[in-house]
Amino acid sequence: CFLSFSVIQKTEIFVDTRATPVLKKQVLPRSRQMENESRRLWEQVTRNLKYGDIDAATDAKCRLEQRQRDLARHRQENKLTWVPECFRGEGGNWIYRAPLVQRFGSDVSAGQPT
């Protein structure tokens, strides 16, 4: 259970998942999540996959993706600028506004905010 990256016939472990502690996710209750939060958006897909209903998961994914396409088309037709909440554009790249280093301090591996 480790990932390796091979460069010029040399294999080097860069993540050993066996040695990485499992941390419990810390998320807001669904009732306090914003409408566009990932866990909420993908809830139907995730639930259906969990229970093995691939067809329902696929349908939910298609609905989600179509809604995103419709919103993008609406913005384009109305010349609305989409401003991401969690990312900022910089030199053609997207930079996360609150990286772990800012939220957890220099010891990101500790898994607890400073």
pLDDT digits (tens, 9 = 90+) for 48-95: 999 999 999 999 999 999 999 999 999 999 999 988 888 999 999 999
Answer whether 0.85 is exceeded by the pTM.
no
Q: What is the pLDDT of residue 52?
A: 98
pLDDT tens-digit map of 17-43: 888 888 888 888 989 998 889 999 999
What confidence tier does 1 reach under pLDDT thresholds 50, 70, 90? very low
Q: What is the CATH number of domain 2-82?
A: 3.30.70.3490
Distance CA 98, CA 94 (A): 12
Direct distance between the N- and C-terminal alpha carbons of the chain, in angstroms, rounded to an integer: 30
C-beta neighbour count of 87 within 10 angstroms: 13
